[in-house]
Structure 1
Amino acid sequence: MPPVAPWSRSAGITLIEVAITVTILAILAAVALPAFSNVILANRLAAGANELVGSLQIARSEAIRRGSRVVVCASATGNSCGGTWSNGWIVFEDSNRDSAVSGGETVLRSQVGLSGLEVLSSSNIGAAVVFRPDGMARQATGALLAGRISVCKAATGVPQNVRQIEIAAGSRIGVSKVTGSGTCATPSNP
């Protein structure tokens, strides 16, 4: 084996190279972290809005299939109406037409509150959406329902912190992104 020259360098990494690498990684993390937080929030808002839209669509299709009223209502307990939309909601067949879960009526779907998100409804919707056997959501007066439900997170620095679910007259359900300016407010009626 030939002798090693005293001035030859080993194949290791120097302390200066490690310090430079750590500094570059810290700068990249500081730049990427806020953008990643916004992506996570956007996904949570979309998932929450999709859960509620799914419940509304199940209620509409079950009303048509069963030929009876099906209600989606705010529920704090998961088995009866009451509370706010932020507490959660249930979907049930309302065979006796009293807008409450009674004996013999089946809860078709139950959703607990969306952790860290607020769910607010316009005055036309209130605490319940009732689908009749024709698949249309109607107000107590019999008029077609037109209202909005917002899924939001009060967060500053997030441009679109609201997903707004709109039930149009005729019961078409749509979702849109809304700029809430970092706050959560009760949505207006369409």
Structure 2
Amino acid sequence: MRYRYVIWPVNAGFMLLELLLVLSLLGAMAVAATPSVRNWLVRDHVEMQAQALLATLTYARSEAIRRAMRITVCRDDGYGRCSENHKQRAATELNNWASGYLVLAELPTHLEQRRGMQVLRIQAPIEAVTIQGASAPLSFTPPAGQVIGGFRSFEIAARTAAAGSGHVRVCRCVRIAAGGRSRIMNGSCVAANYAS
């Protein structure tokens, strides 16, 4: 009976030098890609919040038409009520809607009850962006969902300075026409005013 022996090659595997070279190349590529990935994430947060605000405004307008009652969109005070401008707030936070916002329906007045508000939708606070708009609530009225007070706009931008020099690219402007229809425009609201 013969036994067959398998001889394993001595040089199987990577040398330490080869392994270190591959790891250093991967590290260099990761460092080079980090700013573009960070900018992409910032743009994604801004775009996502602009789409969420647009969906909320469209929902409020359609509910005003469907329910035939006034629907209000306002900043949340953290307790499910419309926020009022308190003096203890910083001046930069007075018009910031990133602390969350509500969609409210005005309930009809009955003889026994006083007038109330029903919460239809709540947007949670958003950490990554700022949403600058007028501090006053926004109301849509029936029958066609017009906005009380005319044109309004909200500017959504990154809260951090991660975007660097490309700040204009990571701003979105949500404009509301007097008829209640909303749309998203690229860039800041000031630039959008000149473009229209």
Give the TM-score normalised by structure 2: 0.76
TM-aligned CA distance change 1:58 to 1:2, over 3 Å? closer
Structure 2 Cα separation of the partners of residues 3 and 67 of structure 1: 86
User: Which residue of structure 2 lines up, in the alignment, with residue 108 of structure 1?
Assistant: 120
Pairing 1:23–2:24 present: yes
Residue 157 of structure 1 corresponds to 164
CA contact (8 A) 2:147 2:177 kept: no
Q: Secondary structure at the match of 2:147?
A: coil
Structure 2 CA distance for partners of 1:88 and 1:94, relative to 1, 3 Å: same
Please tell me whether residue 75 in structure 1 is matched to residue 76 in structure 2: yes
TM-score, with structure 1 as normaliser? 0.78
Equivalent in the alignment of 2:147 = 137
Provide structure 1 residue ranges, at least 5 long, that are not aligned to the other structure: 140-144, 180-186
After superposition, the CA RMSD in angstroms is 2.6
Is 1:40–2:47 an aligned residue pair? no
Q: How many aligned positions are there?
A: 169
From 89, 93, 114, the equivalent of 2:101 is: 89
CA gap 1:88/1:51 in 2 versus in 1, 3 angstroms: same
Identity of aligned residues (%): 26
Q: Hey, what's the Cα distance between the residues in 1 that align with 2:79 and 2:121?
A: 9
Q: Which runs of 5+ in 2 are unaligned?
A: 85-95
